[in-house]
Amino acid sequence: MSEQPIDTDLVARENAARQSALERDYEALGEQLDRRGIPIDAIRDKVAAFAVAIPSWGVGTGGTRFARFPGPGEPRDIFDKIEDCAVIHQLTRATPTISLHIPWDRAEPALLKEAAARRGLAFDAMNSNTFQDHPGQHHSYKFGSLSHTDAATRAQAVEHNLECIEIGRAIGSKALTVWIGDGSNFPGQSDFARAFERYLDSMKQIYAALPEDWRLFTEHKIYEPAFYSTVVQDWGTNYLIARELGEKAFCLVDLGHHAPNVNIEMIVSRLIQFGKLGGFHFNDSKYGDDDLDAGVIDPYRLFLIFNELVAAERRAVPGFAPAHMLDQSHNVTDPIESLMLSAVEVTRAYAQALLVDRTALDAFQEENDALMASETLKTAFRTDVGPVLAMARLRSGGAVDPVAAYRASGYRRKVADERPAARGTGGGIV
Amino acid sequence: MSEQPIDTDLVARENAARQSALERDYEALGEQLDRRGIPIDAIRDKVAAFAVAIPSWGVGTGGTRFARFPGPGEPRDIFDKIEDCAVIHQLTRATPTISLHIPWDRAEPALLKEAAARRGLAFDAMNSNTFQDHPGQHHSYKFGSLSHTDAATRAQAVEHNLECIEIGRAIGSKALTVWIGDGSNFPGQSDFARAFERYLDSMKQIYAALPEDWRLFTEHKIYEPAFYSTVVQDWGTNYLIARELGEKAFCLVDLGHHAPNVNIEMIVSRLIQFGKLGGFHFNDSKYGDDDLDAGVIDPYRLFLIFNELVAAERRAVPGFAPAHMLDQSHNVTDPIESLMLSAVEVTRAYAQALLVDRTALDAFQEENDALMASETLKTAFRTDVGPVLAMARLRSGGAVDPVAAYRASGYRRKVADERPAARGTGGGIV
Amino acid sequence: MSEQPIDTDLVARENAARQSALERDYEALGEQLDRRGIPIDAIRDKVAAFAVAIPSWGVGTGGTRFARFPGPGEPRDIFDKIEDCAVIHQLTRATPTISLHIPWDRAEPALLKEAAARRGLAFDAMNSNTFQDHPGQHHSYKFGSLSHTDAATRAQAVEHNLECIEIGRAIGSKALTVWIGDGSNFPGQSDFARAFERYLDSMKQIYAALPEDWRLFTEHKIYEPAFYSTVVQDWGTNYLIARELGEKAFCLVDLGHHAPNVNIEMIVSRLIQFGKLGGFHFNDSKYGDDDLDAGVIDPYRLFLIFNELVAAERRAVPGFAPAHMLDQSHNVTDPIESLMLSAVEVTRAYAQALLVDRTALDAFQEENDALMASETLKTAFRTDVGPVLAMARLRSGGAVDPVAAYRASGYRRKVADERPAARGTGGGIV
Amino acid sequence: MSEQPIDTDLVARENAARQSALERDYEALGEQLDRRGIPIDAIRDKVAAFAVAIPSWGVGTGGTRFARFPGPGEPRDIFDKIEDCAVIHQLTRATPTISLHIPWDRAEPALLKEAAARRGLAFDAMNSNTFQDHPGQHHSYKFGSLSHTDAATRAQAVEHNLECIEIGRAIGSKALTVWIGDGSNFPGQSDFARAFERYLDSMKQIYAALPEDWRLFTEHKIYEPAFYSTVVQDWGTNYLIARELGEKAFCLVDLGHHAPNVNIEMIVSRLIQFGKLGGFHFNDSKYGDDDLDAGVIDPYRLFLIFNELVAAERRAVPGFAPAHMLDQSHNVTDPIESLMLSAVEVTRAYAQALLVDRTALDAFQEENDALMASETLKTAFRTDVGPVLAMARLRSGGAVDPVAAYRASGYRRKVADERPAARGTGGGIV
């Protein structure tokens, strides 16, 4: 096993204190699942194999346009971020990869690989950034990037994405995620059709540079930072993009990027059916792109999405291999704690979805027994799979209770001493 | 015990087949709760004492403006409805009262009382109806009722509510629920201020006729049947009404009557804090006033509402006694089945809310430990309280699995034979 | 000119009383537009050539699931409806076609053609109905139609659509509009992917029967009558349908069928860009599918949609020929009045969009001068084009003030005498 | 007249070039209004007397949590801001006051007064800021301010508001506006009732310090920066606050702070009716608190709000004196241009509302003639009042076309030279 940031003896002691209760609960649940014809150990093993990527930016404290309130021990650079990610994976055993964001995480590739490998981590999808202006940049993205009316600005944005691919290639990534802020704040500001044509043209250049074994993920979002229209506003447009680009292009679904009331699990189903589901940015939301911790607002919705994923797995949909990533903004919690619990929560939804009696569900659907079909899902959702998740962690060397172990370890206090506060508070963007 | 519509031997047999598994699960859960410091039997007893009223109209198949697709054995009158309600209560033991709707349920009060008493049922809040025109009515409610510009129409609507009080008094009801469809479809159609003045004036007349020991519930709704404005559009207006009327006036909260994204549990908290929470019309919704079965879309939201109610109980808020009623439209299910499961679901949310470790929660709130505060609620919500609910039913003479027992009983087939299909399909209102 | 239901002398008198003021206003506006480089007569002529279809069901009073409040003189059959449509077209000169709904409007094709021709009217798209059960039908649509799990039910729904094509062929229609209510009310009730496969399979059968010179319009809707999921939920799915079916298949956009906040004009642009915009069901909405009169809630949104249409016209997008139809529910107004004003309102948006200085707009967009781009649209929108519309009507033999002429004619009182009230009020679908 | 930042000769030349066309349009409109019984000069004079305040922060470029893209010549301090505000008022004659934000605008009161007076400006409501942490502050607002669980933090926030009152008193302000970001991101994080009690307690201390002739404005907002709950979430809570505090306390309505689909003009009516409308933060929005320029998304909604205000004026509601302020975030435009056009747009809505034939409207409402009531509003809204607004500006010494005059003046280039770029781009708050 790789070097671990948290003392493994401490984790062992923490686990020991919880082990007997866990075994009792696991046994009781096992007996109940057995009555339902489900072997608990098989679920546990599937859970143990499940993984979700951590976005490098997630380990820093987030903020809003009104303010950012940093916490102690904020990571100062990508190496600090890798360290924090290692904590998350050590305790949850569910987050073996990190998703980098360029230019924020720019560093010598060899050093990046070495730092990650030392902690037993690897790199997930690369994320480009053309929604901000960066020092030394020639053209501003104030009025767009890949869809900008100015060809030189578009070229610069394309070039940046190519650089992201290069870095990714060097560190073992296999995918590029493109999210842009392009759009408009006023009716008339942008010609929808021309802007989309320019976007597609830029994306084709990026797609052309994609290595053979890579995937390209595009992400839609209904609004913010543009407040009247966005170029990639919904899954309909996102699907058109993926189809126009080619077979390595797929759609990424962020749970907070939809209009109010939209049925997200249905979008997931459509994208699977038409071969274009790329993966997810998991988080939760009540209003807009709130970027809250996965499952804290509507855990049943998260379950319903995994219900589609497990159903597709079971149908053995060709080429079905969605990428899982958290994408959250932690404004009022310790980011490490939020990311640990969110990884657990996503895994929980997966475990619950594995418990759905799909033979019964198929029959109820066929007979239009809506009530029992619903109950079949609810029965799976209501099952407290906590013991399964904890047992999977325990057997993989993680923590039975990740937050408790983390708090006991004093990691945050330690890094607070090591990492001097740097960035000031946000200012006056209202 | 009163006469029961379902053969009690059949129920006993159904229960016997499930009893041993139930006992195993109850025991295992009991042990787990014991570790959390919660005596499971106390929870079971609180659950057994919980009740939610059935709306008489709920046992008929609902519909939309596009169509209504009746099922077999639709109740022909209030006496059939009482029979169906008796089934629900027999199997769930959670629905001892029926809420009548006048004029739909108009009948000889003595006969109503007798029919209910025979089944061990009583009457909940009376519901008036001034959102439809009824045969023999002098003035149309096309343009409003209690807020109509025409004084005679308002007087007729007031008079109808007084009749509802009279009937209710005769059958032992203790509350009147007033929901109106008044509003407008066009900007300019209605003067907001004058319409509200007229509404308040009408309501004051109704309030004046309210018996001493009654409560008056008013219900807000953002839209439908009016599509630009409604007179009682939200809790703000509803609160103003209750305050203007007096101390017997309270606000009713229907979960589907709010704008998208609104935090309903917070409204519940505000109404409790200012002494004006009257009670609930429970259902679930994804888009508008969908009137779906409680908890089928967002069970965590239902839990969060009960979290407020249990917290208020614990704080012993003076005068806190919210009325619970289901208000759903069953378009694609057997209404009896939907109402049984919905009653169970509401009770489930109550049971989960009872499990919240409130001492810990208070401390986390005080310290702004948002993550652990959230986890404290989630821990309660994730607990599979099914065994507690089933045990409470079993001990009260209900069914361990109400739907299974109901299906086994053949009740629907029996009433389908007895009750000839009457009403046609809906027509052409598009 | 064909026979007219309203006395043409009366119309002439009404017009005479308004002519001099109209000419003054037209002249003043002409002078102003001249300064902006726009020849007013050219706009007037384009306006005169604009047409929007009337849905046959629109001339009856609509309703909600709560109630329907009929007005006097409700049309008793399709021939009464044709008569009412003739009034609308006589006074507005903007509605030369009627869109039939089968089976509601089933009649001898020869009689239909004769009745319409006598009034100078023709037939627009045919509308099938598989969202209701009709007398004599073998299989119920309670659980779906074209996507039903039962093959026989799907076959029946396909057959009904083929009949609609046959009737349409006989009366000179050139399009079929398919809107279904299929969907689900409970998570789990329906398998999204299978339901959509069945839907596509049914639609392919209908498409195969489409005459060479016809178009097939499919209509998406986010919810209602299904309240958890609908099979054709948004433009993304609608696009997939049109693409799967073939080059005669197009997407229909109803302004009230989207999630809250969705940018509809952008959807219009996307569909134009990818060759799949079929046309519109015009109406307005504040909350859901409110089916309010076009432009009464958000006239600027209507303008922005026409801004896309006029821009596409100007770009001479190949095959661009969107169908225009009103689709509204008139609950509190005289349907004839609402449809006249709505036709005027839609025409107004078209006229305003014609005034946009597109050369200036293009330049502002190119330079990212968001403020002036917005002002360019607003300048067109703010122009009071009423005199242009009225002049176009006057010169085509319509009424300067359609509602005033209609009220003066006494048409409603006349038909109220001729057409005895038939249908009762809606009942108890809550 | 006071010193003006823009050369008055230039303004005069710009106006001269437009005067003859303006006079023609004014005359033609005057004739048309005369036919409608409306004296155009009276409207012009009311328009000339109308004013809306400029928020000091509005003249800087805004941003989102993703990025801020500053423009040239950003104001460096409150004195630069006053200068920019002077330009807006000089050209529009509609914005004689500035609303300060503390601590951003902290400066020697005497200097503030002098700088404003020199430009003919005065000070509007003071705005406190407890949603950010400021240098030197003892307690962080990360977890709230006026409602914080910690008494010392609450005291600090109260103290800050008292300082705002002191500064305001010194510079001639007559109102304090309190908007807080307090709320929660997780269910359970905050106890709704206790948080509101603490908030009310803090506000009572602030209220107690309010000078006799001041007003206290509280502002509600459904979400952001808190994403699960906010303490002052809607007008219902805002009303409770104003009532609890006393007769100097009023509710402020920001057009972007409501749930989707909410009828804002109705809220305005309710607050007027119950004596608690304090005023407005004008802006426009399509999705959330988008802070777009007033009237660019839904100009009819803005008109409907002014329709309520003018109706209240006409009814001579006692104590009715709403405060008008713009509150926008200008991300992609020159803030001065946006604020000028927004002031014009707000004035336009007022002018249109003045044109409503209220006698006719009253009658249509009384008769439930929904169609003609709507048309009565639409007729006023459709009237192109541009010439009235321009004439009012011309006669008050402003610009016929404020943006054209501003651009011709070269003001932005001038200040770009004088004011070196200071703040960097926003960073990494995602």
Please report the sign of the dihedral spanned by the C-alpha atoms of residue A134, residue A140, residue A146, residue A152.
Answer: negative
Q: Which is nearest to A56 in space by CA: A10, A8, A22, A105?
A: A105
pLDDT at position D389 is 98
Token code pair at residue D230: 């906010």
B189–D365 C-beta distance less than 8 A = yes
Shortest CA gap D95–chain B (Å): 30
**What is the reported pLDDT for D205?**
98
Given an 8 Å threshold on Cβ–Cβ distance, is D377 in contact with B188?
A: yes
> What per-residue confidence (pLDDT) applies to C423?
52
Confidence of residue B304 (pLDDT cuts 50, 70, 90): very high
Q: Which chain A residues are closer than 8 Å to C368 by Cβ?
A: 142-144, 149, 189
* Nearest-by-Cβ selection for B288 from C66, C187, C288: C288
User: CA A352 to CA A23: how far, in whole Å?
Assistant: 19
CB contact B320 to D (< 8 Å)? no
From the CA of B411, how many Å to the nearest CA of chain A?
Answer: 17
Chain B partners of A381 at a C-beta cutoff of 8 Å? Answer: 299
Q: 328-387 in A: which are within 8 Å (CB) of B?
A: 332-334, 337-338, 341, 368, 370-372, 374-375, 378, 381-384, 386
Q: Count how many pairs of residues, chain C against chain D, have C-beta atoms within 8 Å.
A: 85
Q: Are D295 and D284 in contact (CB under 8 A)?
A: yes
Residues of D in contact with B231 (CB under 8 A): none
Judging contacts by C-beta atoms under 8 Å, the chain D residues touching residue C299 are: 300, 378, 381
Is the pLDDT reported for residue D4 higher than 90? yes
Confidence class of residue C420 from pLDDT cuts 50, 70 and 90?
A: confident
Interface contact flag, C225 B66, Cβ < 8 Å: yes
Residue range B317-326: mean pLDDT, rounded? 94
Cβ atoms within 10 Å of A337's Cβ, excluding its own: 24
pLDDT band of B87, cuts 50, 70, 90 = very high
Contacts of C402 (CB under 8 A, 6+ apart): C91, C92, C340, C341, C344, C393
- Mean pLDDT across chain D, nearest whole number? 96
The 3-state DSSP composition of chain D as helix, strand, coil percent (nearest 5) reads 50, 10, 40
According to DSSP, the β-strands at C183-184 and C126-127 are: unpaired
Between chains, do C375 and D298 touch, taking CB under 8 Å as contact? Answer: no
Q: Whole-angstrom Cα distance, residue B256 to residue B287?
A: 8
> Rounded to a whole number, what is the distance in Å from the CA of C270 to chain D's nearest CA?
19
Could you give the CA distance from residue D62 to residue D70 in angstroms, rounded to a whole number?
8
- What is the reported pLDDT for A20? 98
- Confidence at B1, pLDDT banded by 50, 70, 90: low
Whether the bond into C225 is cis, omega within 30 of 0: yes
**Average pLDDT of the segment spanning B108-136:** 97
Q: CA of D141: which chain B residue's CA is closest? A: B368
Examine the pLDDT at A301 and tell me if it is beyond 60: yes
**pLDDT band for position A1 (cuts 50, 70, 90):** low
pTM of the entire structure?
A: 0.98
Only one residue has tokens 């047992």, namely: A391
Contact A23, A394 (CB under 8 A): no
The neighbours of chain C, by the rule of 3 or more Cβ pairs under 8 Å, are A, B, D
pLDDT given at position D3: 86
CA-CA distances (angstroms) from residue B36 to A26, A384, B26, B372, D116?
A: 16, 15, 15, 16, 65
Please give the average per-residue pLDDT across D363-392, as a whole number.
98
pLDDT mean over C156-181:
98
Task: Using a CB–CB cutoff of 8 Å, tell me whether A229 touches chain C.
Answer: yes
The alpha carbon of residue D75 is apart from the nearest alpha carbon of chain C, in Å, by 20
The one-letter amino acid at A227: F
D149 CB neighbours in chain B (<8 A) are 365-368
D375 contacts on C by Cβ (under 8 Å) = 341, 403
Decide if pLDDT at A144 tops 60: yes
For residue A326, give the H/E element and its range: strand A323-326
State whether residue D166 sits within 8 Å of chain B by CB.
Answer: no
- The C-alpha angle A333, A336, A340, rounded to 5 degrees, equals 105
Give me the percent of chain C exceeding a pLDDT of 70. 98
The CA distance from C376 to C361, in Å, is 6
For residue C426, pLDDT beyond 50: no
Best of A228, A266, A300 to substitute, by most chain C Cβ atoms within 10 angstroms, is A266
Confidence category of residue A420, pLDDT binned at 50, 70, 90? confident
Token pair for D251? 């509710």
Positive or negative: CA dihedral A33, A35, A41, A47? negative
Q: Does D223 touch chain A (CB under 8 A)?
A: yes
Element (H, E) at B178: strand B175-178
Shortest CB distance from A63 goes to which of D65, D184, D228? D65
Query: Average per-residue pLDDT in chain A?
Result: 96
Which residue in chain C has the smallest CA separation from A273? C193
D241 vs D220: CA distance, rounded Å: 10
Give yes or no for a contact between D66 and A221, defined as CB atoms under 8 angstroms apart: no
Per-residue model confidence (pLDDT) at position A37: 97
On the question of pLDDT at A58 being above 50, the answer is: yes
* Chain D CB within 8 Å of residue C21 CB: yes
* Number of residues that this document lists for chain D: 430
What would the mean pLDDT of C232-257 be, rounded to a whole number? 98
D234 and chain A in contact, CB less than 8 A: no
CA within 13 Å, CB half, A342: 33
Within an 8 Å CB–CB cutoff, is residue B288 touching chain C?
yes
| Token pair 């920019």 in the structure block, residue | D84
Q: Which residue has the tokens 């077979």?
A: A247
Closest in A189, A308, A365 to C190, CB measured: A365
* Average pLDDT of chain C to the nearest whole number: 96
Q: Supply the angle between the helices A264-273 and A235-245 in degrees, to the nearest 10.
A: 20
CB contact under 8 A, C225 and B286: no
Specify the pLDDT at position D425: 47
- For residue A393, the surrounding DSSP H or E stretch is helix A386-395
**pLDDT of res. B427:** 42
CA C365 from centre of chain: 31
Best of D150, D191, D200, D272 to disrupt the B interface (most B CBs within 10 Å) is D191
Tokens of D399: 């610009």
Nearest Cα residue to A116 out of A132, A92, A95, A140 = A95
Q: What is the pLDDT of residue B55?
A: 98
- β-bridge mates for residue A160, sequence order: none
**Cβ pair D274, D239 in contact under 8 A:** yes
Are C71 and C334 contacting, i.e. CB atoms less than 8 angstroms apart? yes
D236 touches chain B (CB under 8 A): yes
- What average pLDDT does range D375-391 have in this prediction? 98
Q: By C-alpha distance, which of D265, D216, D281, D219 is closest to D53? A: D281
- In this complex, which chains have at least 3 CB pairs below 8 Å with chain A? B, C, D
DSSP state of D294: T
Helices (H), C280-410: 299-315, 335-354, 358-366, 370-382, 386-395, 402-409
The pLDDT value recorded for residue B425 is 47
Q: What is the pLDDT of residue A333?
A: 98
Q: Is B149 on the interface with C (CB under 8 A)?
A: no
Residue C1 has pLDDT above 60, yes or no: no
Starting at the earlier edge strand, list the strands of the sheet with D323-326.
Answer: D126-127, D175-178, D215-219, D249-254, D277-282, D323-326
Q: Chain C residue with minimal CA distance to A262?
A: C259
The SS3 of residue A9 is helix
**pLDDT tens digit string along C68-84?**
999 999 999 999 999 99
Measure the CA–CA gap between B272 and B267, rounded to whole angstroms.
9
Q: Is the dihedral of CA C242, C245, C248, C249 positive or negative?
A: negative
Mutate: best of B243, B262, B263, B314, partner D, most D CBs <10 A = B263
> Which chain D residues are closer than 8 Å to A76 by Cβ?
none
Rounded to an integer, the average pLDDT of D317-330 is 96
Which candidate from D186, D193, D236 shows the least CB-CB separation from B239?
D236
Q: pLDDT of B366-413, one tens digit each?
A: 999 999 999 999 999 999 999 999 999 999 999 999 999 999 999 999
Average of pLDDT values for B316-329?
95
Q: Do residue C287 and residue B332 have CB atoms under 8 angstroms apart?
A: no
Task: Report yes or no: B83 and B110 within 8 Å, Cβ to Cβ.
Answer: no
Test A287 with D288 for CB contact under 8 angstroms.
yes
Q: Is the pLDDT of residue C425 over 70?
A: no
For residue A297, the chain B residues in CB contact (below 8 A) are: 300
| Token pair belonging to B391 | 């045990």
Chains near D (3 or more Cβ pairs under 8 Å): A, B, C
A153 contact residues in C (CB cutoff 8 A): none
Residues 90-119, chain D, touching A (beta carbon < 8 A): 104
Tell me the count of B-C CB pairs closer than 8 A: 162
The reply to whether residue B332 touches residue C143, judged by beta carbons under 8 angstroms, is yes
Q: Cβ contacts (< 8 Å) between B68 and chain C: which residues? A: 429
- Is the pLDDT at D210 greater than 70? The verdict is yes
Tokens of C240: 């997939």
Look at residue C331 and tell me whether its pLDDT is greater than 70: yes
- Per-residue pLDDT averaged across B282-297, rounded? 98
Mean pLDDT for B47-54 is 98
Residue C387's pLDDT is 98
As a whole number of angstroms, the distance between CA C253 and CA C257 comes to 8
Q: How much is the pLDDT for B423?
A: 52
Contact B223 C287 (CB under 8 A): yes
Check residue A428 and give its pLDDT.
42
